[in-house]
Structure 1
Amino acid sequence: MALLAISFLTLPAQAKEQNLGPVTHLPLPRYVSLKTDEGNVRRGPSLTHRIDWVFKRRDMPLQVTAEHGHWRRVQDRDGAGGWVHYALLSGVRTVLVEQDMIPIYNRPDPQSQLNARFELGVIARLGECTRDWCRISSGGYRGWTLKTNLWGVDDDEIRD
């Protein structure tokens, strides 16, 4: 009887920690990228809902906040969003540079060699991340920058 009571006590805490999508069973929220050059953003999760606007940047990072059938509710860095068909989204992780001329270093160390500088608004492919740094690549350049320079990766996210 004591074991049964303990399992009931631990289940709700675990369920709160991880919010999973009802369709994919993947974590919500989570980051994805736009697979196409254009993606219609609808007011609701079906083709009958009005198109509010169109995302027009391939590889743009988006955050999935809800799921319904073949539709995902997404938002961009400014919080603008709506419902997008899942076929327009990719699991490939990208980030948006949020500061102008951010330094890209050879290693996650500001004393290491400077490889490049990325402008505000650049979309970069996301690689591994430590507690404070992420490895990114864009335009043939790659290296490490502080996570605080990027949108599309969580503050506590670690990637190998």
Structure 2
Amino acid sequence: MSKPLINQLLIATLLVATTSSVYAIEYRSTAKHGVILYDAPVETSDKRFILSTNIPLEFLAEQGNWIRVRDRDGTLAWALKSDISTTRYVQVNRLAEVRKDANTSSTLLFKVDRNVVLELLQDTRTGWLKIKHRDGAVGYIRIEDVWGA
């Protein structure tokens, strides 16, 4: 190959690599019971939902004292920054198994129903999340069984 062609391929490869960078999705959770989600970043706007504590939300943007979020159903809304925590929780999508270790052959600790909220302790980056149930039980759940990770 000619040197100009190699240079063009190298530049094209670098451009693809930089433009296709994976952007990490950032999640937060409601900090208290009764968090109101609004249509716009003002308290006089329409109220969309009221959420319980520890509900995971996808963080999209920040504007003053407001945070733009998306819920599990894809609804976009605004919440007061003071009502949102960086402590991570996940919400179960369907009946799921929690294992002692991060593999399917590990001992089954318990099953967890849809919509149960679990504290996220660690993303193992292997498709498993280390979680904690509100009763204190700690184990591993498959990432595809939850929303908010």
Q: TM-score, normalised by structure 1?
A: 0.74
CA shift for structure 1 position 48: 2.8
> Is the aligned partner of 1:39 residue 2:39?
no
The letter for the 1-side match of 2:144 is T
| Distance in structure 2 (CA, Å) of the matches to 1:46 and 1:14 | 36
Whether the aligned pair in 2 keeps the contact of 1:99 and 1:149 (CA below 8 Å) is yes
CA shift digits 1:109-152 (9 cap, x unpaired): 11111111111111000121222111111122110111111100
| Distance in structure 2 (CA, Å) of the matches to 1:84 and 1:92 | 16
Change (3 A) 1:18 1:148: closer
List structure 1 runs of 4+ shifted beyond 3 angstroms: 13-19
* Other-structure match for 2:114: 120
CA shift for structure 1 position 17: 4.0
CA shift for structure 1 position 50: 2.4
1:70-109 to 2 correspondences below 5 Å: 70-100=65-95, 102-109=96-103
Gaps of 5+ in 1: 1-9, 20-26, 154-160
Change (3 A) 1:36 1:15: farther
**How many residues are treated as equivalent by the alignment?**
133
| Distance in structure 2 (CA, Å) of the matches to 1:15 and 1:66 | 21
Change (3 A) 1:106 1:60: same
Whether the aligned pair in 2 keeps the contact of 1:107 and 1:113 (CA below 8 Å) is yes
- Aligned to 1:107, what secondary structure does the other structure show? coil
| Distance in structure 1 (CA, Å) of the matches to 2:22 and 2:107 | 39
CA shift for structure 1 position 81: 3.5
* Other-structure match for 2:144: 148
CA shift digits 1:79-119 (9 cap, x unpaired): 1231100000000010001111x111111111111111111
Gaps of 5+ in 2: 1-13
The letter for the 2-side match of 1:91 is T
1:134 is matched with which residue: 119, 129, 139? 129
Change (3 A) 1:109 1:16: closer
| Distance in structure 1 (CA, Å) of the matches to 2:115 and 2:92 | 5
Identity %: 25
| Distance in structure 1 (CA, Å) of the matches to 2:106 and 2:79 | 41
Structure with bigger gyration radius: 2
- Aligned to 1:79, what secondary structure does the other structure show? coil
